[in-house]
């Protein structure tokens, strides 16, 4: 950043671009705006260009429908419409998981979806139940809490005021399937409900959870769904990092992000002569000290 005074340390600037829609030549758009930065003496070797994953996925038209995800669930677990599917350790999120859960339920409209949430919080810190409620039941962290024990109680999120246990039940039943929502921190507890297949829905510890269930039941992770390059829309991360779009569509994380970042780096060097770093990034995570939510 040669134009800024030497006493200014690291600084970040938001670059204004045009509307990005499916099919947009995002590479050309980025190179053009960076070229303008260079012409205004705002670019130097070693600068870092950050591109949000959302616009990369949007330009790739990386969207899938509920019906497509439901088909993937049936194919990966080799199940039919009357099967019982277990879902282990999903996060409590309307944007990140409700549509995924709806697709799972759509895969078994004549069957059952058993959702096992961790307690008292999900993986990213969202409160599932209050610890006082667990204490009132005489529960310790290693104990399960059944659907019957949860019945008749409301568990509102401290910020969104959404009762995710009730919401997830409504989403499942809205697709015709039977809903069973329960709490346990032991991934193998799901096996006591004899599911025909299990979807591991946690993120950071998904491989560990998968190993706990492997060879005991048909089991996949969210990363296995919509991850094949043979599909029109796909991501190396599968459904991880996906979020709700419009209608019945879910936006996947972008595919081939490393290759795209390298293309941007190469094109910028060719146009400006500057060697920059390029990052395709998603949301950051911090832990709020009051609610303990990341």
**Domains defined along the chain, listed by start:** 1-62+254-294 (3.30.1330.100), 64-250 (3.40.50)
Respond yes or no on whether the N-terminal peptide bond of residue 120 is cis (omega within 30° of 0). yes
Question: Checking DSSP bridges between strand 84-88 and strand 197-200, what pairing results, if any?
Answer: parallel
Instruction: Give residue 171's pLDDT band: very low, low, confident or very high (50, 70, 90).
Output: very high
What values do phi and psi take at 182, rounded to 5? -140, 170
Please give the full DSSP string across 1-34, using - where no structure is assigned. Answer: -TTS-TT--S---PPP-----TT--HHHHHHHHH
CA 81/CA 109 separation, integer angstroms: 6
CA 279/CA 63 separation, integer angstroms: 22
Instruction: Give residue 118's pLDDT band: very low, low, confident or very high (50, 70, 90).
Output: very high
Residues making up the chain, counted from first to last: 294
DSSP 8-state assignment for residue 192: G
Percent residues over pLDDT 70 in the chain? 95
Model pLDDT, residue 284:
60
Reported as a single tens digit per residue, the pLDDT across 209-261 is 999 999 999 999 999 999 999 999 999 999 999 999 988 999 999 999 999 99
Model pLDDT, residue 292:
61
Instruction: Name which of 51-55, 150-154, 203-207, 282-286 the model is least confident about.
Output: 282-286
Instruction: Name which of 21-25, 189-193, 242-246, 261-265 the model is least confident about.
Output: 242-246
Mean pLDDT over residues 251-272, rounded? 97
Instruction: Give residue 207's pLDDT band: very low, low, confident or very high (50, 70, 90).
Output: very high
Model pLDDT, residue 246:
85
Model pLDDT, residue 204:
87
User: In what helix (H) or strand (E) does residue 135 lie, and over which residues does it extend?
Assistant: helix 131-136
User: In what helix (H) or strand (E) does residue 54 lie, and over which residues does it extend?
Assistant: helix 53-59
Instruction: Give residue 10's pLDDT band: very low, low, confident or very high (50, 70, 90).
Output: confident
Q: Please give the sequence-ordered ranges of beta strands (E in DSSP) within the chain, or none if there are none.
A: 48-52, 63-65, 84-88, 112-117, 178-183, 197-200, 219-221, 243-244, 249-251, 277-281
- Say whether pTM exceeds 0.95: no
Percent residues over pLDDT 90 in the chain? 87
Instruction: Give residue 290's pLDDT band: very low, low, confident or very high (50, 70, 90).
Output: low
Model pLDDT, residue 280:
93
Model pLDDT, residue 61:
97
What values do phi and psi take at 116, rounded to 5? -105, 110
Tokens representing 113 are 């979806």
Q: What residues contact residue 230 under an 8 Å CB cut-off, 6+ apart?
A: none
What is the pLDDT of the chain when averaged over all its residues?
Answer: 94
Which of 284, 233, 268 is CA-nearest to residue 48?
268
């Amino acid at each position: 950043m040669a134009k800024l005074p030497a006493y200014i340390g690291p600084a970040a600037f938001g670059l204004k671009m045009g509307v990005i829609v499916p099919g947009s030549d995002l590479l050309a758009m980025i190179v053009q705006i960076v070229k303008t930065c260079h012409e205004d003496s705002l670019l130097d070797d070693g600068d870092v260009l950050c591109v949000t994953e959302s616009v990369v996925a949007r330009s790739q038209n990386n969207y899938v429908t509920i019906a497509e995800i439901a088909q993937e669930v049936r194919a990966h677990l080799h199940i039919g419409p009357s099967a019982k599917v277990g879902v282990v350790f999903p996060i409590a999120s309307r944007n990140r998981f409700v549509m995924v859960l709806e697709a799972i339920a759509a895969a078994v409209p004549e069957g059952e979806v058993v959702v096992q949430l961790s307690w008292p919080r999900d993986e990213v810190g969202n409160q599932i139940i209050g610890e006082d409620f667990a204490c009132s039941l005489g529960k310790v962290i290693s104990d399960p809490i059944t659907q019957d024990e949860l019945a008749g109680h409301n568990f509102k999120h401290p910020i969104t005021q959404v009762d995710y246990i009730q919401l997830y039940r409504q989403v499942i039943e809205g697709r015709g399937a039977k809903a069973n929502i329960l709490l346990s921190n032991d991934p193998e507890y799901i096996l006591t409900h004899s599911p025909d297949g299990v979807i591991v829905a946690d993120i950071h510890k998904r491989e560990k959870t998968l190993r706990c269930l492997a060879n005991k039941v048909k089991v996949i992770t969210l990363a296995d769904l919509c991850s094949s390059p043979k599909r029109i829309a796909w991501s190396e991360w599968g459904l991880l990092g996906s979020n709700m779009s419009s209608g019945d569509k879910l936006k996947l994380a972008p595919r081939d992000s490393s290759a795209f970042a390298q293309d941007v780096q190469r094109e910028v060097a060719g146009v400006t002569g500057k060697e920059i770093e390029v990052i395709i990034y998603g949301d950051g995570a911090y832990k709020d000290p009051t609610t303990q939510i990341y």
